[in-house]
Amino acid sequence: MSTLVSAREAIYQRFVDQWGGSSAFTFDNEQFDPPAGVPWVRVSVRHSFGAQETLGGAPNRRFSRGGLIFVQVFVPLDSGNKAADALAQSARAIFEGTHFATDVRCSDVTVREVGPSEGWFQTNVECSFEYDQQL
């Protein structure tokens, strides 16, 4: 059973293990200076729901928790879509239909082109995730 902290860490670790040298990357709320003129990505986790799955007293109740993983892909503006599409496909492959770290389950991955953003062209990869917590 995971916790908020362990689920986030497992998601970040899966990304690190699978991303390799595809591009520079950062995680949400970290100091980062984007490299000039080359693609990069930012990975964020946003919890958005929780539901009690079983009845009973603590510590025997199971809760389902979940939210969205965002992989924001940034490529230089006016460089076309090829690099953005390739990085988005790589990010999608890391999470789509996966189950890792014992109980983090990922599904429903969407690639969404956002457009120009402060000198970059942005594409977002959004992935639903769930895990169980016992309290």
pLDDT value at position 1? 66
pTM: 0.90
pLDDT value at position 58? 72
Encoding tokens for residue 130?
A: 């769930």
Digit-coded pLDDT (tens) for 4-15: 899 999 999 999
Report the distance separating Cα 51 and Cα 132, nearest Å.
10
Report the distance separating Cα 3 and Cα 43, nearest Å.
19
What is the residue extent of each domain of the chain? Answer: 4-79+87-134
Digit-coded pLDDT (tens) for 77-86: 999 999 999 9
The whole-number mean pLDDT for each consecutive block of 10 residues of the chain, a chain of 135 residues, reads 87 96 93 94 94 77 93 95 96 96 93 94 97 86
| CATH number of the 4-79+87-134 domain | 3.30.2000.20
